[in-house]
Structure 1
Amino acid sequence: MCSLLNEEQQHIFLEVMRSINEEKHFLYFVSGFGGTGKTFLWNCILSKLRSQGKIALAVASCGIASLLLSGGRTAHSRFHIPIDINETSTCTIHRGTNLSQLISKTSLILWDEAPMTHRFCFEALDQTLRDILSVEEATNSQKPFGGMNILLGGDFRQVLPVVNHGNATDAINASLISSSLWQHFTVFKLTINMRLRNPHLNDSEKQKIAQFAKWVLDIGEGKYPAYDDNNDTDEKWIQIPSQLLLQPMANNIEAITDVIYHDFSTNFTCINYLAERAVICPLNTTVDVINDTMLEKVPGDSKIYLSYDSIVNSIEQPDDFPILYPPEFLNSITLNNFSQHRLALKINVPVVMLRNIDQSIGLCNGTRLLIVKLGDYVIEGKIITGSHIGEHVCIPRVVLHGTSPKWPFTLARRQFPIKVCYALTINKCQGQTLQKVGIYLKGHVFSHGQLYVAVSRVTSQEDLKILIENEDGTSGTATKNIVYRMTCIPLKDINQGSYKTKICARLTRLSEFILDDKPEQIQRLDFVLLDVEGHAIEAQVPQQHISRFLPRLKEGTVYFVEFFQVVPCRTNYRAVSHTYMIKFTCHTRVTEFNAAPPTFPKYAYTLASFDTLRTRIDYTADMSDTIGRIVSVEPATTAYVKGLKKAIRHLYISDGRESIEVVLWSRQATEFPAEKIIELSKEKPIILLLLGIIAKSREGQLKIQGSMSCQYHINPAIPEAAALINKFTGFPHQVTWTGAATSSSSDIMTTSVTELAKLTNPHELYGNIYQVNVVLRTISPNQPWWYLGCILCRKRVFPEGETYRCPKCSGNKAEPMYRIVFIAADPDNFLEDNAPTIEITFFGNMGQELTGIPVLQLAAISEGNNVSIPSEITRLYSHKYTLAISVPFSSMQRENVSYQVKNIITTAGPAITTKTIYPATSGTGQQQTKPTQDTTRHLPVAETTKLDSNMEEGKVATPLPSPQRLQMETSSPTMKQTTSSDDDLAFSTEAGTSGTKTKRNVRRKLGD
């Protein structure tokens, strides 16, 4: 028997046997269309195992399929699966029972026609097996199906589990492929059509069978040429080949029954004649009409059997219940796969079983019989299909129970569980092979796989006829073909021909793209899609579709996505590495997947080490991802980018060998949970996963900053984070405050100008941060208040032809940068001539925050003169500030100690305005007067505005005009401002943010 297996079947057979013999746990699914020999393979495996003395339990989802298996039963009867099942159901199998002992000794459970069973059934069996098999080995409770070997088979092209009042999404969610168990299965495919290997067929017959099989398969996979119905993208209308169509001019029912039941008057008692043919319809109402028509053609009188209907399990039993629900109402109720109240039968009429009665004698749901005798209490019939053909059996009345959401009760109907079956519904005929089929589509198919099931009941087009009845009663040539895209392609396989594919992916890095000049208008939605295999692709929702998708898209949710456009990926700031990206259209369908397995990846990342990041400095084609332990955090402050005030926060992360600076912008900066992180770090190391970052350099040191789609995650559940936590556990891992912290921070030294003036050794001061109250007395003499600095390292540049040269990093792009050097004194003695003073410098954004004016604008007002001090600066004389200052590294090479402003903590108005003090030449040549004493206005330490993260923060700016036009020498008399709508200049922050050229002031607003 096993020697007759083809190469595909042989491979699966050997894999199953090898795994069982080696005691290797497996979960296999074998997919194959009709004619690929699944049933033959099942029986070979069952026979081989049983010949070795092993136990193999064979079950199927329906009774007809179970009869084809050696020792087969329905899954519900074998494992006691509840009929009314939900996500918490389990099988009613208890420890210590005979069935539980049988299962514990079983080597294999083989389950045929698995796709037509609700996933809750498999999940119920999974929970039950974990419980039963954990008695022998406790670890089995953690294994899928308790470590039992499972072999499933079927065809997902066929009808899916029935969900009452459900839609496409409900049907997909009910299928096995949507279960969290599916991820553990290895899928094998049978593709060889064994019908073509029949030695009795000639080449012409084989060609016809092959062509018909391809047509059927194309229908099942949704590949047959079709056109869309504008109302539903699942429904494809296909043209039926003319040789298959019936187009009668008169009665349609008479036409199709005459073709399928040709010579009925002489063959109505023939078992083979009746067993090999049927009319198939989508709806029960059409089936009933055809059966009544055929019943009238059978000679003899009809015997009428009426059911006894009653109400059971009602919520309440009021006195007027019989009035509300009289017997006439109960008799009128009809349900799918349920006996009718009035059952008309004749001798020699074929019937089909509606319930499992006794599988051992062939009486199961779907078995067809020929009526032999009609008794008052028992009906005798002869089985005409299945494994017990020709046997006589007696059919008793049984009580069937039916429910509906519309009823406050359960209907109990005592009736014979049979139905006349000259015509069958598509769902009822699934699993049966016929020789002559007529498909009567008075109502079009309404669910996935129905047309495929109907046309695949026969093996050649000569045995199939299709009659399509339009709504006006005329004969049609086209019908619906509904195919749900059950299988999703991996994101790595997405290309520009993938517009008809379906994907299943988690939505991550969701963000809104907004222009600065239109802050209330979202230009597009950007995000990254991540599939179960860990592959990722960028996706966008264009502006015209935002209102449709924004309310439905949630960060971290898994969706089925189909009907989208695939375009080449962008050339800059790519979040992930993929040749293409996805764009949503008005036809894109997004369905939430509620049964995503717990192992579905949550983060799309490709980690780069700190050394790798150094090779990507200022590389903007692709963004980077990295990870490290948080070492220290600074409070959020503010910085100016292109004249816009933005929140900024600095922190440091470590990989165990070194620490690097991280710059977070805007919402990322203000919403960073610094206080919570510091508190949690007392117990364990805090790991930071950074996604979508850009590597930068500051004074030769690596730093990283957020980009347009940057996200951070604290202690993410990924192996790399777990490894770092283990690495740092046992060592000091407390996160500390640094920078301009509150007065409670131990890292800040509160002092005065008088005390600082006594300290003259910069080596002793370097590395400390001081909080000091000062009054700005005057500008330090002979100090230019702006300079041309390299946009990469902020060092002074020199002209070189039409561009510039940085002596430190060899950069050739520069922009004006603030360098305002003040002489400051203590507020309580700043009027004294001999008051102690210190020199403090406001660089970059600190200068802009001090003046409130971009440097380019102020330099233009001064006509490029960086020695003459404009009034916008001199008016700050005698103003009082609380500053965080430190000694820069360069100060150690100078004779006099100079301090650099790290943060403006608080600011107040002029200290006094009563008399003239230090004469100073301003841009207007006016002298300054003493301001009057004013009350200090204390601002929050982290005074921020919740602005949005800039996509281009840190991007290299366009070169300034040539050195001949914009002199950097202190003696240069003028500087002319150059402006352009697309080439505006931005300004570096003191924290090291490079100058920026944005796309028309583009900024980002990150999603939660």
Structure 2
Amino acid sequence: MADVVEITPLNLITQERDDWKVRVKVINQWSKTAYMKPESIFSYEFVLVDFQGHKMRASIYKNLMPFFAHTFKEGGFVDLSTFELKLNDDDWKLADHDLKICFLRKTTVRRCPPFKILRDVFNCVAYKDVQDWVLPKDSVFGKRYIVGQLVKLNRYKVDKDDNGEKKSIEFELSDASGEKVRCKLWGAHAEKLHDTLLSEYKKDEPVILMLHNCRYKDWEGPQVNNLLWGFKLFLNEPIQPIEEFKDALATAIREDDKYVKPVVEVDLGKDESSALTKFTDQENNKAYIIDDVRLFEKVCTFVVRGRVSSFAEKEGWFQYYCGTCDKKVQKTYDLEEMMYLYDCKVCNTTYKEANPKVRATIYVQDITGGCEMSLFDGQLSKMTHRSVQWLNNAAKNASDICDYPLELNKLLNKKFAFIVKHNLYGDENKLSGYTISDSTDNASVLNKLDAILKDKEAEYSAFDEDILVSSTPDVKKIPKFEDSGVASSCSTSTTPSSIGVKRPSPSQSTKDETPTGGTTSALGDLKIPKMEKL
């Protein structure tokens, strides 16, 4: 009979042996990415806890992601054995243990029955401890969280430097007794908070936030910031700390004679002046009508504005990529295994899992015509007010690349201004050669662009009766969203990367004489009726 390896508590794990076996719950998970490149994932990172409440970090590196990512997830209970131990040398430690678990190809992961943790893994940070510097400066709330009511929200900021955009938002939280704490979020977390409040904020309802894995620092006084890795933001979600705070707040309002309802100041506006400059600067980003850009033959950046009329049917809204080489894979169904497999031609390997990456193609129209434009997860997140993580999870749970989530439907028939990059790679590979690098639905920006493009559209309207808007007669608005939220299956029809031809000059004739002396369109019956102005 094989020897039974005993389960060891995490606090007793050392580098003296390499045959440890641990039983843990995964309490936190995130992806570690390249700086300013959220699509380039280096590793999956985790925080583990055992039944005694001891915590330890774990990492799965990029080349091993396809083997473990689908079995080792946040909230799961697992037994781990045959792993490597390395120093936990992260700048901000989210676990006290000096070592961290690193997965090997031979690491064994088995699900185990759920167990009860004997002591609280996390404790709420007292506001007074923050204000009075009871906690060490520049410390991490690795074992703690802070929860409170949003009472002040400053304007969301986007600053640019040589490294790209820096997004930030400052706010204040109040506890049930009226004590306040200053907070500031950076990057995608700042954007998520702003966009979520933009779509869900109700003036008469309290907004309760919980911040987990924060950094505590001195910035003109005590301030709570998010960590670069492992930070989590919860907004009015039905989890225990938020529900307990709501109960405490309701009790204070009902029973405390000294309770004063806080004055809530929420500024959900963005800096319109910077947006106006970015989208209407005719020297750096010249604005065009769509009819002028469809035949660009060089790499360039420009601005257009129009309505999103549909999604491209054939391409889907995401693609599958290899977890090892990060190249596109082919999804096939194995009749013997009764499951989908993913073939990577670069690695010459078939995997059971692949990484979905968001890349949607939308059809944008203005009065002069339309063309297809591609956008990736960051811009799709900005336009739909859904986080990148939400989009990635939706892609993972989708049955097919054409299984569109219902939330994308909100973009249809909506007007945006786009900063677009034209690249020759897309043209050469029969893909959309236009990639959206930024977008806005800011009314001031759209009105300014309307004024800039007014003369060009007037020139176009002068020849409107003789213009052929599309050279493809059978373009559909796609996908067709069903009530269930699942789009219709992919069609086998081709989708053009550009749907227009250049309008004729005034000197060019658009009609030919027929044998009977009448006139007809040069391209037959392909003429599309005049489009209504936006």
TM-score normalised by L of structure 2: 0.43
**More relative contact order in 1 or in 2 (CA 8 Å, sep 6+)?**
2
When Rg is computed on C-alpha atoms for both structures, the one with the higher figure is: 1
Q: Could you tell me the TM-score, scaled by structure 1's length? A: 0.24
